[in-house]
Structure 1
Amino acid sequence: MPAADENADADNPYLREPPTDFAPIEELSETEAEQQVEQLREAIRVHDRRYYVEHEPVIADRTYDTLFARLQALEDEFDLAHPDSPTRSVGGEPLEAFETVEHVAPMLSIDASGEAEDVRAFADRVQREVGTVEYVCEPKFDGVSMEFVYEDGWLERAVTRGDGREGDDVTANARTIGSVPQRLHGDYPEFLAVRGEVYMPKDAFQDYNRERIERGDEPFANPRNATAGTIRQLDPSVVAERPLSVFFFDVLEASDLADSHQAELETFPDYGLRVNDRVEVVENIEGAIEYRDRMLEARDELDYEIDGVVIKVDDREAREELGRTARHDRWAYAYKFPARAEVTTIADVAVQVGRTGRLTPVALLEPVDVGGVTVSRASLHNPAEIAEKNVNVGDTVRVQRAGDVIPYVKEVVEKGSEGHYELPATCPVCDSPVERDGPIAFCTGGLGCDAQLRRSIEYYAGDDGLDLEGLGEKSVRQLVDAGLLDSVADLYALEREDLTDLEGWGETSAANLLSEIEASREPPLADFISALGIPHVGPTTARELAREFGTFAAFRTAAEAEPDRLEDVEEIGETVAETIHDFVTSEANAVVVDEILEHVSPQEADTGAGGDELDGLTFVFTGSLEGVTRSEAQDTVESHGANATSSVSGNTDYLVAGENPGATKQDDARDNDVPIVNEDEFWALLAERGIDLE
Structure 2
Amino acid sequence: MTEQTDISSFEDDGSGEADADSDPDPESEPGENPYLSDPDTEFEPVAALDAEAAREQAALLREAVRYHDHRYYVRADPEIGDRAYDALFSRLRELEDAFDLDTDGSPTGRVGGEPVEEFETVEHVAPMRSIDSSGEEAEVREFADRVERAVGEQAFVCEPKFDGVSVEVVYEDGKYERAVTRGDGTEGDDVTRNVRTIASVPERLRGDHPDFLAVRGEVFMPRDAFNAYNRERVERGEEPFANPRNATAGTIRQQDPAVVAERPMDCFFFEALAGADFDTQWERHATLPEWGLQVNDEVERVADIDGAIAYRNAMLDRRDDLDYEIDGVVVKVDDRDACEELGATARAPRWAFAYKFPARTEETTVRDIAVQVGRTGRLTPVALLDPVEVGGVTVSRASLHNPDQIRDLDVNVGDRVSVQRAGDVIPYVDAVVEKDSEGHFAFPDRCPVCDSAVEHDGPLAFCTGGLACDAQLQRAVEHYASRDALDIEGLGEKSVGQLMEAGLLTGLPDLYTLDRDAVAELEGWGETSADKLVAAVEASREPDLADFLVAIGVPEVGPTVARDLARAFGTFEAVRAASREELESVDGIGEVVANEIREFFDSERNEAVIAGLLDHVSPRETEVETGDALAGLTFVFTGSLPGMTRGDAQELVERHGANATSSVSGNTDYLVAGENPGASKTADAEENDVPVLDGAGFRELLADRGVETDGENGG
TM, length-normalised to structure 1: 0.81
Q: Secondary structure at the match of 1:307?
A: strand
Map 1:160-175; keep pairs closer than 5 Å.
Answer: 160-175=181-196
Amino acid at match of 1:618: F
**Cα displacement (A) at 1:160:** 0.8
The percent identity for this pair of structures is 62
Shift of the 600–688 alpha-carbon distance from structure 1 to 2, 3 Å rule, reads: same
Alpha carbons 1:620, 1:648 under 8 Å: kept: no
Q: Secondary structure at the match of 1:257?
A: coil
Map 1:445-594; keep pairs closer than 5 Å.
Answer: 445-558=465-578, 562-594=579-611
**Cα displacement (A) at 1:531:** 1.2
Aligned to 2:252: 231
TM, length-normalised to structure 2: 0.78
Q: Secondary structure at the match of 2:562?
A: helix
Alpha carbons 1:521, 1:599 under 8 Å: kept: yes
1:637 matched to 2:653? yes
**Cα displacement (A) at 1:678:** 7.3
> Hey, what's the Cα distance between the residues in 2 that align with 1:516 and 1:500?
15
Aligned to 1:656: 674
1:194 matched to 2:210? no
Alpha carbons 1:464, 1:646 under 8 Å: kept: no
Q: What are the superposed Cα offsets for residues 212-271 of structure 1, whole Å, 9 maximum, x if unpaired? A: 1001110111111111111111000000000000000001111x4122222122111111
Aligned to 2:400: 380
1:123 matched to 2:123? no
> Hey, what's the Cα distance between the residues in 1 that align with 2:679 and 2:273?
41
Aligned to 1:392: 412
**Cα displacement (A) at 1:391:** 0.8
Q: Secondary structure at the match of 1:238?
A: helix
Q: Secondary structure at the match of 1:653?
A: strand
Aligned to 1:110: 131
**Cα displacement (A) at 1:109:** 1.2
Alpha carbons 2:217, 2:270 under 8 Å: kept: yes
Map 1:48-127; keep pairs closer than 5 Å.
Answer: 97-127=118-148
Map 1:202-241; keep pairs closer than 5 Å.
Answer: 202-241=223-262
1:611 matched to 2:628? yes
> Hey, what's the Cα distance between the residues in 1 that align with 2:464 and 2:396?
29
Shift of the 414–523 alpha-carbon distance from structure 1 to 2, 3 Å rule, reads: same
Shift of the 223–495 alpha-carbon distance from structure 1 to 2, 3 Å rule, reads: same
Shift of the 490–646 alpha-carbon distance from structure 1 to 2, 3 Å rule, reads: farther
Shift of the 669–382 alpha-carbon distance from structure 1 to 2, 3 Å rule, reads: closer
Amino acid at match of 1:598: D
**Cα displacement (A) at 1:465:** 0.8
**Cα displacement (A) at 1:617:** 4.9
Q: Secondary structure at the match of 2:398?
A: strand
Aligned to 1:34: none
Amino acid at match of 1:154: K
Q: Give the RMSD, CA atoms, in angstroms.
A: 2.4
Amino acid at match of 1:609: T
Map 1:175-186; keep pairs closer than 5 Å.
Answer: 175-186=196-207
Amino acid at match of 1:461: A
Q: What are the superposed Cα offsets for residues 390-428 of structure 1, whole Å, 9 maximum, x if unpaired? A: 111111212222222222111111211111112101110
Q: Secondary structure at the match of 2:396?
A: strand
> Hey, what's the Cα distance between the residues in 2 that align with 1:425 and 1:225?
33
Q: Secondary structure at the match of 2:158?
A: strand
Alpha carbons 2:380, 2:401 under 8 Å: kept: yes
Q: What are the superposed Cα offsets for residues 44-63 of structure 1, whole Å, 9 maximum, x if unpaired? A: xxxxxxxxxxxxxxxxxxxx
Aligned pair count reads 589
> Hey, what's the Cα distance between the residues in 2 that align with 1:97 and 1:615?
51
Shift of the 459–143 alpha-carbon distance from structure 1 to 2, 3 Å rule, reads: same
Alpha carbons 2:545, 2:619 under 8 Å: kept: yes
Aligned to 1:598: 615
**Cα displacement (A) at 1:688:** 4.0
**Cα displacement (A) at 1:633:** 4.1
Aligned to 2:24: none
> Hey, what's the Cα distance between the residues in 2 that align with 1:149 and 1:400?
45
> Hey, what's the Cα distance between the residues in 2 that align with 1:599 and 1:647?
35
Alpha carbons 1:567, 1:577 under 8 Å: kept: yes
Q: Secondary structure at the match of 1:233?
A: coil
Alpha carbons 1:344, 1:368 under 8 Å: kept: yes
Amino acid at match of 2:146: R
> Hey, what's the Cα distance between the residues in 2 that align with 1:418 and 1:669?
50
1:437 matched to 2:457? yes
Alpha carbons 1:136, 1:313 under 8 Å: kept: yes
Q: Secondary structure at the match of 1:533?
A: coil
Shift of the 356–677 alpha-carbon distance from structure 1 to 2, 3 Å rule, reads: same
Alpha carbons 2:638, 2:671 under 8 Å: kept: no
1:322 matched to 2:322? no
Shift of the 611–512 alpha-carbon distance from structure 1 to 2, 3 Å rule, reads: farther
Aligned to 2:62: none
**Cα displacement (A) at 1:456:** 1.2
1:687 matched to 2:708? no
**Cα displacement (A) at 1:367:** 1.8
1:360 to 376, 380, 388: 380
Aligned to 1:57: none
**Cα displacement (A) at 1:527:** 1.1
Q: What are the superposed Cα offsets for residues 335-363 of structure 1, whole Å, 9 maximum, x if unpaired? A: 11222212222111100011111111011
2:282 to 255, 259, 262: 262
**Cα displacement (A) at 1:496:** 2.8
